[in-house]
């Protein structure tokens, strides 16, 4: 496989200012004729050939300036056409078989409809084209097909014509006036209905909005529409961004590799991020829909109007757009809870990535398969890096920076460097050294100690693959000092650590102050604070920054669990420590000033994935057991209070208001604690919650608890759920995921049985993820002593790779953690990777991930 390097970028030799596409649609066979107006790029080296990328397609005919062209050649998958002058019209015909396209890249069939996915390199599976994001074209798309099979024909931009044809066929033509790269092209043809609405923009233009789904799903689209309108408004108010076409279409498809795709004016979504009603979607699903609708909509500016020069710049659009969707959701749902949730995901997914064999900077230096770099690092750490700039500049100055970025680069394919420079100038910030966040991988480790009003900080950036030596990063930290006696802080200050070590003097520090640092998670680092006994308990009770308060309790729990699991270097806790922990949790349950949303966050124990990050070599089984043990202990110790909480929360009627949502969150948590302590007593309570549920949050929560219990209620509830939601794919996905993620002792057997279930399909990514991602994240199943969990995941990768390599490759990372896992786990995980590596004909996707993981 070829390695592509960022340093090797050269501008395209030929540009394609215009493209016209003609589709003769059929699920079995689709003919594509493309007409490319190509012109020489004056800024590139002269060549006599234009390189048009292809992937699993053949040119049926090639015309140059209207005449058959003989002088074309193939170079691997690419078509090379010679051109003498400064410009040419090239016309190419290809034939596709959408219904056998199981990779779900390019044009494919899903539930009888046809749709496309082109990012990153799917357009080359449709027609030959310079399939790179720095070639921007205006698109005119004509589609024709059977009017009964494909009554709805959609593409990017605005519809410019439509009509009937003979033999029950019809056509439609769409034109997108905004030049765009090929990865933003989209087409949809199918039997769909729409929820329609409109939005008036800040300059008074009316935009027609439509959300297209299968008829049976129409009743589940209102929340998506509400989310879209809120997003449009928010982007005007917060970033000054107005929508720029007359229509905005969203289409939901059941077979999709990712969450959704921001194609210009025609976003295509996984049904999971469109459909929601109380009966079938949890509160978390509602938030997911709102967040992803916002994310894709926000891409219209951060991604589409200003796109990426090359795929190494992916974080330019993804990091920025994640930051924008996070800020939006903070405004919609409350800042503190959303921040805590985002940090939890970062630590459970991105931190392990950054400390493992797949670590890479937010702007990678090389890749073999770009699909492998749509990572938590590029997305979530990318967002954190921008958030740090925003913290240093302040909201207003940051906005000046983003305004300058959009102004300066509108219509361009830009780089991360362009973004940083715009923020530097617009926000008046020196980011020279800060740029290292784009270059260096690895989570910096910061140590902090406060003595006599002096804060001493040191930092170290760990070695990562290909980067043995690191330079100090710029690390902004919001800090407050608390008076131990009054419980009050003297205010917050931003310190910026930019050397290996530095000290900061706090003139007005109270004697013997308690340090609260990295408040709001200012920087994506791990922290080691020298603390006096009792400091964490103090902060968990007193800190006025909700994130810091949450963090203090998490730290206390982490200390306890590491000791319980016998982790190296952990100080063993005594009974008094455990009692103090019990009191701290009791206080969370009793604190009337906390709302239930926040209470729910505080009650969540840190995920095992993050616990594993605390030590060099982790024993996942011991950590999992310690975590379950603490849950059981707390459940027993605080039983009456959890019962009271469960009863109080159960009395709150269903609504989507924050209060009711908070009640549902703590309700299931109370249940989980009670079940950990006493399964026999909790099972009927869980079954009662299940049976009484008038919404999916309660029903799924109860079933989640029951799925982990070896009790008779389990079977009945699972059967009821399956029957109740037969035919609803998203709900059945939950049914698979709950069992695969369960604490049940026989989870491995369950997963094997489920893989043979009539509802299981390897060709549907949602179903595959619901069974196997849930299982790979289930420490108790995946890390089973027998090694069977690792084998199951490796079997899946081998089976799925020929069908859908992009999705298969996503399952390599869990096995890739082998170096950090205690024996015998590490060896057994590596053996499975070696077994995959030895297989013939691996995809480039899986090959790259496996070889990096073993390397
Ligand atoms: N930009 C798409 C990602 C598509 C990835 C394809 N491998 C979704 C998003 O981040 O909005
Ligand atoms: Zn995105």
Task: Assess whether the C-beta atom of 123 lies below 6 angstroms from ligand 1.
Answer: no
Q: Which atom of ligand 1 is nearest to the CA of 318?
A: 10
CATH number, domain containing residue 74: 2.60.40.1730
Residues 409 and 475 in one domain: no
Domain annotation covers residue 38: yes
Give catalytic status of residue 173 as yes or no.
no
- pLDDT score for 533: 86
Question: CA Rg, the chain, in Å?
Answer: 27
Residues 414 and 382 in one domain: yes
Q: Whose CA is nearest to atom 3 of ligand 1?
A: 261
Residues 197 and 183 in one domain: no
Task: Assess whether the C-beta atom of 120 lies below 6 angstroms from ligand 1.
Answer: yes
For a ligand 1 pocket test, name from 262, 291, 383 the mutation site with the most ligand atoms within 8 angstroms of its C-beta. Answer: 262
Domain annotation covers residue 660: no
**For the residues 251-263, what does the mean pLDDT come to?**
98
Domain annotation covers residue 560: yes
- pLDDT score for 571: 73
pLDDT confidence bin for 274, thresholds 50/70/90: very high
Lowest mean pLDDT among 238-242, 489-493, 677-681, 707-711: 489-493
**345 CA distance to ligand 1 middle (Å):** 18
Q: How far is CA 344 from CA 360, 380, 414, 660, in A?
A: 20, 11, 31, 23
Residues 173 and 221 in one domain: no
Residues 81 and 29 in one domain: yes
**For the residues 726-755, what does the mean pLDDT come to?**
98
**For the residues 496-513, what does the mean pLDDT come to?**
94
Task: Assess whether the C-beta atom of 262 lies below 6 angstroms from ligand 1.
Answer: yes
Q: Beta 137-146 vs 14-24: how paired, if at all? A: parallel
**339 CA distance to ligand 2 middle (Å):** 19
Q: Which atom of ligand 1 is nearest to the CA of 295?
A: 11
Q: Residue 572: pLDDT above 70?
A: no
- pLDDT score for 207: 98
Q: Residue 605: pLDDT above 90?
A: yes
Residues 319 and 378 in one domain: yes
Task: Assess whether the C-beta atom of 375 lies below 6 angstroms from ligand 1.
Answer: no
Identify the domain boundary among 637, 667, 693. Answer: 637
- pLDDT score for 74: 98
Q: Cα(778)–Cα(701) distance, rounded to whole angstroms?
A: 17
**For the residues 286-310, what does the mean pLDDT come to?**
99
Task: Assess whether the C-beta atom of 374 lies below 6 angstroms from ligand 1.
Answer: yes
Overall domain count for the chain: 5
**For the residues 111-115, what does the mean pLDDT come to?**
97
Q: Residue 573: pLDDT above 70?
A: no
pLDDT confidence bin for 420, thresholds 50/70/90: very high
**396 CA distance to ligand 2 middle (Å):** 24
CATH number, domain containing residue 361: 1.10.390.10
pLDDT confidence bin for 268, thresholds 50/70/90: very high
pLDDT digits (tens, 9 = 90+) for 810-819: 999 999 999 9
- pLDDT score for 247: 98
- pLDDT score for 569: 78
Identify the domain boundary among 191, 208, 237. Answer: 191
Residues 430 and 452 in one domain: no
Q: How far is CA 676 from CA 211, 623, 679, 682, 709, in A?
A: 43, 16, 6, 8, 9
Q: Residue 577: pLDDT above 90?
A: no
Q: Cα(210)–Cα(711) distance, rounded to whole angstroms?
A: 46
pLDDT confidence bin for 570, thresholds 50/70/90: confident
**For the residues 344-350, what does the mean pLDDT come to?**
97
pLDDT digits (tens, 9 = 90+) for 395-417: 999 999 999 999 999 999 999 99
Measured from the Cβ of residue 284, the count of other Cβ atoms closer than 10 Å reads: 14
Segments forming the whole domain that contains residue 455: 445-523+525-637
pLDDT digits (tens, 9 = 90+) for 315-342: 999 999 999 999 999 999 999 999 999 9
**256 CA distance to ligand 2 middle (Å):** 15
Q: Residue 380: pLDDT above 90?
A: yes
Q: Whose CA is nearest to atom 9 of ligand 1?
A: 261
**314 CA distance to ligand 2 middle (Å):** 9
Is the overall model pTM greater than 0.90, yes or no?
A: yes
CATH number, domain containing residue 471: 2.60.40.1840
CATH number, domain containing residue 739: 1.25.50.10
Residues 257 and 235 in one domain: yes
Residues 509 and 622 in one domain: yes
Q: Residue 231: pLDDT above 80?
A: yes
CATH number, domain containing residue 258: 3.30.2010.30
Task: Assess whether the C-beta atom of 717 lies below 6 angstroms from ligand 1.
Answer: no
**319 CA distance to ligand 2 middle (Å):** 8
SS3 497: strand
Q: Residue 568: pLDDT above 90?
A: no
- pLDDT score for 319: 99
For a ligand 1 pocket test, name from 103, 118, 119, 320 the mutation site with the most ligand atoms within 8 angstroms of its C-beta. Answer: 119
Task: Assess whether the C-beta atom of 687 lies below 6 angstroms from ligand 1.
Answer: no
User: Residue 301: which of 323, 269, 285 has the closest Cα?
Assistant: 323
Residues 210 and 184 in one domain: no
Task: Assess whether the C-beta atom of 296 lies below 6 angstroms from ligand 1.
Answer: yes
Task: Assess whether the C-beta atom of 105 lies below 6 angstroms from ligand 1.
Answer: no
Q: Looking at 296, 318, 613, 637, which residue is catalytic? A: 296
Q: Residue 574: pLDDT above 80?
A: no
**For the residues 17-34, what does the mean pLDDT come to?**
98
Domain annotation covers residue 710: no
* Helix boundaries (H) for 741-778: 747-755, 765-768, 774-776
Percent of the chain with pLDDT over 70: 100
Domain annotation covers residue 94: yes
Residues 851 and 729 in one domain: yes
Domain annotation covers residue 664: no
Identify the domain boundary among 581, 613, 637. Answer: 637
Residues 373 and 479 in one domain: no
Q: Which atom of ligand 1 is nearest to the CA of 117?
A: 6
Domain annotation covers residue 555: yes
Domain annotation covers residue 26: yes
pLDDT confidence bin for 226, thresholds 50/70/90: very high
């Amino acid at each position: 496989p070829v390695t592509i390097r960022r340093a090797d970028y050269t501008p395209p030799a030929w540009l394609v200012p215009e493209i016209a596409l003609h589709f003769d649609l059929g699920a079995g066979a689709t003919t594509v004729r493309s007409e490319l107006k190509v012109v020489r790029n004056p800024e590139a080296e002269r060549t006599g050939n234009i390189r048009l990328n292809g992937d699993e397609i053949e040119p049926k005919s090639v015309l140059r300036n209207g005449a058959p062209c003989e002088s074309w050649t193939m170079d691997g998958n690419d078509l090379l056409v010679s051109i003498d002058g400064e410009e040419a019209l090239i016309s190419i015909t290809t034939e596709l078989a959408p219904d056998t396209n199981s990779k779900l890249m390019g044009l494919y069939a899903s539930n009888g409809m046809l749709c496309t996915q082109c990012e990153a390199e799917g357009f080359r599976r449709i027609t030959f084209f310079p399939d790179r994001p720095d070639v921007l074209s205006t698109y005119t798309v004509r589609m024709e097909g059977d009017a009964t099979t494909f009554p709805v024909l959609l593409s990017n931009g605005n519809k410019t014509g439509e009509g009937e044809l003979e033999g029950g066929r019809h056509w439609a033509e769409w034109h997108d006036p905004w030049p765009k790269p090929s990865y933003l092209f989209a087409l949809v043809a199918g039997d769909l209905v729409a929820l329609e609405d409109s939005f008036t923009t800040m300059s008074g233009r009316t935009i027609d909005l439509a959300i297209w789904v299968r008829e049976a799903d129409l009743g589940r689209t209102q929340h998506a529409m509400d989310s879209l309108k809120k997003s449009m408004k928010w982007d005007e108010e917060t970033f000054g961004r107005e929508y720029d076409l007359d229509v905005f279409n969203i289409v939901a498809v059941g077979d999709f590799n990712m969450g959704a795709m921001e194609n210009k004016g025609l976003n295509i979504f996984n049904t999971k991020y469109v459909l929601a009603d109380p009966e079938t979607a949890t509160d978390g699903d509602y938030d997911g829909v709102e967040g992803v609708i916002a994310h894709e909509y926000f891409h219209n500016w951060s991604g589409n109007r200003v796109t990426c020069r090359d795929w190494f710049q992916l974080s330019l659009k993804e990091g920025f757009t994640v930051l924008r969707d996070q800020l939006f959701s903070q405004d919609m749902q409350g800042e503190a809870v959303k921040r805590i949730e985002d940090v939890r995901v970062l630590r459970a997914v991105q931190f392990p990535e950054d400390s493992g064999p797949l670590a890479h900077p937010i702007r990678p230096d090389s890749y073999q398969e770009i699909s492998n770099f749509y990572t938590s690092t590029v997305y979530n750490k990318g967002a954190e890096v921008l958030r740090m700039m925003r913290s240093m500049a302040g909201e207003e100055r940051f906005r000046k920076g983003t305004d300058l970025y959009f102004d300066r680069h509108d219509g361009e394919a830009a780089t991360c460097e362009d973004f940083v420079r715009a923020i530097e100038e617009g926000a008046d910030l020196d980011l020279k050294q800060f740029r290292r966040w784009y270059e260096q991988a690895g989570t910096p480790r910061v140590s902090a100690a406060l003595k006599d009003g002096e804060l001493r900080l040191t930092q170290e950036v760990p070695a990562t693959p290909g980067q043995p030596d690191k330079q100090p990063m710029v690390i902004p930290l919001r800090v407050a000092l608390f008076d131990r006696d009054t419980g009050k802080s003297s205010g917050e200050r931003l310190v910026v650590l930019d050397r290996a070590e530095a000290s900061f003097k706090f003139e007005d520090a109270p004697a013997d102050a308690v340090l609260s640092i990295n408040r709001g998670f200012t920087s994506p680092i791990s922290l080691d604070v020298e603390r006096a006994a009792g400091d964490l308990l103090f902060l968990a009770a007193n800190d006025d920054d909700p994130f810091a308060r949450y963090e203090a309790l998490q730290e206390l729990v982490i200390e306890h669990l590491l000791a319980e699991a016998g982790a190296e270097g952990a100080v063993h806790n005594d009974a008094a420590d455990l009692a103090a922990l019990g009191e701290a949790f009791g206080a969370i349950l009793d604190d009337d000033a906390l709302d239930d949303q926040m209470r729910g966050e505080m009650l969540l124990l840190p995920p095992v994935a993050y616990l594993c990050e605390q030590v060099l070599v982790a024993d996942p089984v011991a950590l999992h057991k310690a975590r379950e043990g603490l849950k059981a202990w707390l459940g027993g110790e605080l039983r009456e209070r959890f019962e009271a909480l469960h009863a109080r929360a159960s009395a709150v009627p269903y609504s989507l208001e924050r209060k009711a949502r908070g009640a549902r969150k703590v309700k299931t948590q109370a249940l989980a604690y009670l079940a950990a302590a006493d399964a026999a007593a909790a099972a009927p309570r869980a079954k009662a919650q299940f049976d009484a549920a008038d919404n999916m949050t309660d029903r799924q929560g109860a079933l989640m608890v029951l799925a982990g219990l070896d009790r008779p209620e389990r079977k009945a509830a699972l059967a009821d759920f399956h029957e109740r939601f037969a035919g609803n794919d998203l709900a059945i996905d939950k049914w698979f995921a709950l069992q695969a993620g369960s604490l049940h002792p026989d989870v491995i057997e369950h997963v094997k049985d489920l893989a043979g279930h009539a509802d299981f399909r390897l060709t549907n990514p949602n179903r595959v993820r619901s069974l196997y991602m849930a299982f790979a994240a289930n420490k108790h199943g995946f890390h089973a002593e027998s090694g069977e969990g690792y084998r199951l995941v490796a079997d899946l990768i081998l089976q799925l790779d020929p069908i859908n390599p992009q999705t298969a490759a996503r399952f390599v990372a869990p096995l890739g953690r082998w170096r950090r896992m205690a024996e015998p786990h590490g060896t057994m995980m590596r053996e499975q990777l070696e077994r995959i590596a030895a297989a013939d004909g691996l995809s480039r996707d899986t090959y790259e991930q496996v070889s990096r993981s073993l390397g």
